[in-house]
Amino acid sequence: MSDVSFAFNLAPEKAIEFLKQKRLYLNGVDIDELQLSARGRAAKIANLTSLEMMQDIYQSLIDAKAEGKAFGEWRKGLLAHLDKKGWLHTEKVGRKQKTLIADPKTGEVFGTPWRLNTIYRTNVQAAYSAQRYQQQRDNALHRPYWQYSAVGDSRTRPSHAALNGKVYRYDDPFWRTFYPPNGFNCRCSVIALSQRQVDKENITVETAELEEYINEKTDYRTTGVKVGDRVFIADKGFDYHAGRSVYKPNLDRYPEQLAHQFAKREMSGESFKLDYQQLQRELTPYLAQLAKLTGTDKSNKLVEVRNLLRKEYKFAAGVLSETTQEIMQTPLKTVWLSDDSLIKQIVNRESQAFTADDYAILPDILYQPTKVVEDNIQDNYRFYHNVNGKKMVIVIKVLRKTNEIFLQSFRQVSEKQWKKVFE
């Protein structure tokens, strides 16, 4: 299995972390309510709609990495598990017996056991990519320029070869979609470069020209990038960034001011703006319906929409100063903003005309709030700050069991509410 040998050099904890994200997303899927498009995004196993089988496959991958099992041992154990559950079906094809993996409840045929090779390679490759992405993002202050690198042999796709050597900043919109792998068996990688290297080698740093591509036959919509006079498009199922869904910048390793500047770059960058705009577009069909609902009906519908649209992205919204950490009695520094919270924000802040640009002030408010108040809800805190005449409040929650801090809401408050807090 030489094509997956790189997987055995992958730090097990990173692969396990990535695969658990897949499994946990599946755990949260409401089989009766959630649309098929969301199920597909959740698992990324082509032509397989059985969530139970996906769950078992991902759990087996987690166990295999934790126990240090090789591919052959993992495959043998999983096949034995599938056979025990009645998911292996044997049929006669000519003179030979052919084994197929099939869902006994629906009769859906997934394929032959050899498809497990593709599943293993694709998911471990994605886990490797997620690990490399985190390492390179954590070092982005020192090596902010990333170079796309294709292997360049006879097996390299021409479209991938056309990207070879292209350099974009780490926060350029290009990487939100095209950080490799960009297809099955894609062997492309990313090389991180320093400012000194770029200057010394006279390298041109480009800005990606992204555009929406629509396959008229299937109405499949994806993102393409202009490379010369042609458009590069990732394979279907690879037009997303595996690393971004589990990425957590390790801001605790940086001094306060440096970490603060990193967060400011994150929240004012083009990548965040594009994600925000995409969520706005995807939410548009639901806004009129949500506006007509109230109380429990609205809450239930919003939960359904959030489960459908979220992709488990996180942004470093800001960092806490040592003074604020003491007030909150926490050693944690980074405050996360999830795409799930962004969905709620977009729905609930329509009347305040929030835009993506408004979120650029989050790092400053979190780092130097005018006042921090403990909320009525345990481990919730409110940060108040006057920004150019706008009186803003941020609510954050400390999750002490998982050692994380998440932004819950961000809004303007009235003059009356402001006076009440400060008087």
Confirm whether 127 is domain-assigned: no
- Token readout for 214 is 């629509």
Determine contact, residues 273/211, Cβ cutoff 8 Å: no
415 and 274 fall within a common domain:
yes
Give the pLDDT of residue 247. 58
3-state secondary structure of 136: helix
Q: Which amino acid type is present at position 113?
A: P
Least confident of 28-32, 299-303, 307-311: 28-32
175 and 234 fall within a common domain:
yes
Give the pLDDT of residue 38. 33
Rounded distance between C-alpha atoms, residue 285 and residue 293, angstroms: 14
Rounded distance between C-alpha atoms, residue 351 and residue 332, angstroms: 33
Q: Of how many residues is the chain composed?
A: 423
151 and 195 fall within a common domain:
yes
170 and 260 fall within a common domain:
no
Comparing CA positions, the residue from 217, 205, 100, 50 lying closest to residue 143 is: 205
Comparing CA positions, the residue from 54, 44, 15 lying closest to residue 246 is: 15
Confirm whether 132 is domain-assigned: no
Domain end call among 121, 148, 172: 121
Q: Tell me what the mean pLDDT of segment 145-149 comes to.
A: 96
Burial of residue 182, with CB atoms counted within 10 A of its CB: 0-12 exposed, 13-18 middle, 19 or more buried: buried
- Predicted TM-score (pTM) of the model is 0.56
411 and 275 fall within a common domain:
yes
pLDDT band at 94 (very low <50, low <70, confident <90, very high): low
143 and 74 fall within a common domain:
no
Confirm whether 131 is domain-assigned: no
Please name the residues in contact with 250: beta carbons below 8 A apart, sequence gap of 6 or more. 138
Q: Which amino acid type is present at position 170?
A: Y
Give the pLDDT of residue 86. 80
Confirm whether 70 is domain-assigned: yes
Q: In the chain, pLDDT over 90 holds for what percent of residues?
A: 25
Give the pLDDT of residue 240. 65
255 and 200 fall within a common domain:
no
229 and 80 fall within a common domain:
no
Confirm whether 57 is domain-assigned: yes
Convert the pLDDT of each residue in 346-405 to its tens digit.
Answer: 988 877 888 889 999 999 999 999 999 999 888 999 999 998 888 999 999 998 887 889
183 and 329 fall within a common domain:
no
Confirm whether 352 is domain-assigned: yes
Number of CB atoms found within 10 A of residue 168's CB: 20
Instruction: State yes or no: pLDDT of 406 exceeds 70.
Output: yes
Number of CB atoms found within 10 A of residue 90's CB: 9
Instruction: State yes or no: pLDDT of 23 exceeds 80.
Output: no
Domain end call among 70, 86, 121: 121
Question: Total domain count for the chain?
Answer: 3
Domain housing 372: 251-422
Per 3-state DSSP, what percentage of the chain is helix, strand, and coil (rounded to 5)? 45, 20, 30
Residue with the bigger pLDDT between 178 and 91: it is 178
Least confident of 83-97, 138-152, 238-252, 354-368: 238-252
Instruction: State yes or no: pLDDT of 128 exceeds 80.
Output: no
Instruction: State yes or no: pLDDT of 32 exceeds 50.
Output: no
pLDDT band at 244 (very low <50, low <70, confident <90, very high): low
Determine contact, residues 180/190, Cβ cutoff 8 Å: yes
65 and 211 fall within a common domain:
no
205 and 339 fall within a common domain:
no
272 and 226 fall within a common domain:
no
Least confident of 250-264, 343-357, 404-418: 250-264
Instruction: State yes or no: pLDDT of 5 exceeds 80.
Output: no
Confirm whether 134 is domain-assigned: no
pLDDT band at 151 (very low <50, low <70, confident <90, very high): confident
Q: Tell me what the mean pLDDT of segment 20-28 comes to.
A: 50
Q: Within a 13 Å sphere around the CA of 43, how many CA atoms are in the beta-carbon half?
A: 24
Q: Tell me what the mean pLDDT of segment 25-41 comes to.
A: 37
Comparing CA positions, the residue from 61, 114, 107 lying closest to residue 86 is: 107
Confirm whether 76 is domain-assigned: yes
Domain end call among 121, 148, 180: 121
Rounded distance between C-alpha atoms, residue 389 and residue 376, angstroms: 27
- Token readout for 111 is 């394929």
